[in-house]
Chain A
């Protein structure tokens, strides 16, 4: 028969089935990815123009900028050519796996057969030992030895009174590489679903308020189908420093007018509801908002009550005639060297409230009460006023995300881990024990192979052989 030239389809198939092509793609993707780490992605044009001026000089920078822009370098991970590389990569992976799967499947599932005499030379591990007694007499011992290292032996007699025991383990581990490759496809699929059907937005909510939509790209809004109320936002600091320790939003989910869920959201602990996930992203003060001072007041007689008042309002310390009037507030109070107070930040880093106390119309004392300094809560006469919060003036900024593909990404990640462990830490091991008659003795040849980590298997076989010969006197 005349050998025909391969058709175009065949040649494309061969290209996509080759590891060489894969290696070229690894290199291309890795090298081009570097561009996007040097040029800031999605930045204002001026920024990258500056960078290019530093790299290429003032005169060349504008043309370099135009060139880079036409090549999509400023948003390169979404550019047509980078996406094409990823598509080629996926196609490569799929076709390569399909191409090899039948052969590997056979290798993985095929039962082991006795070794034909002319194949014995090609088995990498070979050990010989002589045992006392004819072949049939040592069979049980050999089978026990094999099963002690986990191999259940098959039996096949040959013509001249000898026989062969053979066994294999871990044939399926040959599929580890394919599981790994499959997982990459699963992850890419998840990513694609996320890109086409996902949503990414932002949602600021003031303390005490409710919102039922989020801002998406370019200030579009997306209705959620339920509402979220911010019950409280709070920052906790490390000891006496301004180093934040915890950002905390207390949120309530409201659906059809009913509260269906409450959750404290922190930076690494988002709220998940209705397919959306809400992350703590930022926070701030709402300009000109009037809030409530929440005070815990305890008279000397011991009973504590929690009250809330606005700026300028008054309250009575229970069990006394003393009236406190709220005169001033500072979100971040500090004191300079001369003892004068000032506000050092417009965020609530060190909230303080100035209260005047009077009794029967006569002024008694006045001073700052600081939320983070319990020593300032105790008044000269033994009454205690604690500043719990200045509530209603902060907003919490939530990042809103809907990604229907993320579970596939996680699934793929799990599969990949599994596949890699199988591919690298497990192996397909085969062993054949050939037994022949040699006078009153048996000549035993142990042949073995492993597709990975052969040394470890070799040591195991050595142990087996020395255990066998230890029990013999041949």
Chain B
């Protein structure tokens, strides 16, 4: 058995646990909850072993030195993100003895895994280009993803907070979270459509870019494209119309808004220093070592800075009078949107200027 089989098992496991947590949230059956936890832990163990195996495989193929864990391309980094996210989630579940977060956080893992499958990105162990053979880069990527997963946790809890705290459909915070959730659902559906239509086997971000949304918004047929936009609007409107139903589900659990706010803050308080050191500082040191400039305002760097500023905004907004609660939760959600954009949007949507050095 090689690592890809185990990764496959873990992927299916996480999908199952996502379903189980949501079922648990709705049914509130203790057995379902226990099963959800069980599946998550088992999948986590499978993924951990798979990670180790992939590490060894890369070494045996002569493509990696032994000290280099497999976190070097898009596929590997997304997998690592899922691993950190689940680890963080399990810590919270055991520490707060509350499973209801699971239904909000495992879908994030599911989303990342679905994204991998839908875009069909390359899972090969690829040789490392010279610019990428750097320990600073390794530390940079590893810590960035640890930070991203804490930000992912805070996104889940902030969203729950907003769901629990909003009343009326006309309320800005309500509109904000329902539209955000709606857009998320639309993106997933659109990527699913791309996959069904093209069975894309894109191996590079460039190829992926050319297929993305071709089945829907960017379709050659004007009618399909128009219908996609209409469909997207309908989905968002639907989430907005019936979003309050989620509130009942969340409210039926004994997670107080105060606890959610607290977990959101704590996750960001851990993530912010890690992101500062790993995401910005190590990234700058790597750039300095490889190209002789620690900061060059390229889109990827700039978006990291934007993300950082949004979280600095969050931390300071909490200190201002009148900015407790809902408003800061909105900032936490926006922060994670910036994270996702930094990681995927820059590669997929912006001009891909962040190529790996002039020697690539």
Contacts and interface: CB of A to CB of B under 8 A. Distances in A.
Contacts of A38: 350
Given A267-B357, A424-B270, A279 B290 contact: yes
Contact of A41 (B134, B297, B357): B297
A406 B133 contact: no
Given A23-B317, A30-B313, A270-B292, A417 B277 contact: yes
B1 interface: no
A268 B305 CA distance: 23
B281 A267 contact: no
A270 B287 CA distance: 12
B66 interface: no
B306 A267 contact: no
A421 B137 CA distance: 22
Given A27-B313, A33-B306, A40-B353, 18 more contacts: A23-B320, A26-B312, A33-B302, A36-B302, A37-B350, A77-B297, A238-B63, A243-B129, A244-B129, A244-B359, A266-B130, A267-B290, A268-B130, A399-B292, A400-B292, A410-B285, A420-B277, A424-B270
A445 interface: no
B122 to A, nearest CB: 14
Interface of chain B: mostly helix, strand, loop or mixed? helix
Contacts of B309: 26-27, 29-30
Interface string A404-440: 0010011001001100110011000000000000000
B130 A37 contact: no
A246 interface: yes
B341 to A, nearest CB: 9
Interface of A: 19-20, 22-23, 26-27, 29-30, 33-34, 36-38, 40-41, 77, 191, 200, 238-239, 241, 243-247, 266-270, 277, 279-282, 399-401, 406, 409-410, 413, 416-417, 420-421, 424-425
30 contacts: A19-B319, A19-B320, A20-B320, A26-B309, A26-B313, A30-B305, A30-B306, A30-B310, A34-B306, A36-B302, A37-B350, A41-B297, A77-B297, A239-B62, A243-B127, A243-B129, A246-B130, A266-B130, A267-B133, A267-B290, A268-B136, A269-B289, A399-B292, A400-B292, A406-B288, A416-B276, A417-B277, A420-B277, A424-B269, A425-B273
B133 A417 contact: no
Contact of B302 (A37, A243, A244): A37
A191 B285 CA distance: 14
Contact of A191 (B133, B295, B320): B295
Interface in B213-241: none
A279 B63 CA distance: 24
Q: How large is the interface on B (under 10, 10 to 19, 20 to 34, 35 or more residues)?
A: 35 or more
B291 A399 contact: yes
A76 to B, nearest CB: 9
Contact of A267 (B288, B305, B320, B359): B359
A281 B297 contact: no
B303 interface: yes
Interface in B103-154: 127-131, 133-134, 136-137
B227 to A, nearest CB: 23
Interface in B339-360: 346, 350-351, 353, 357-359
Contact of B292 (A29, A30, A247, A277): A277
B244 interface: no
B305 A33 contact: yes
Contacts of A400: 292
B127 to A, nearest CB: 4
A281 B359 contact: yes
Contacts of B129: 243-244
Interface string B310-336: 101100110110000000000000000
Contacts of A26: 309-310, 312-313, 316
B299 interface: yes
Contacts of A36: 297, 299, 302
Contacts of A29: 309
B272 interface: yes
A282 B288 CA distance: 16
Given A36-B302, A409-B294, A417-B276, A268 B319 contact: no
B284 interface: yes
Contacts of B306: 30, 33-34
Contacts of A269: 289
B34 interface: no
A451 to B, nearest CB: 12
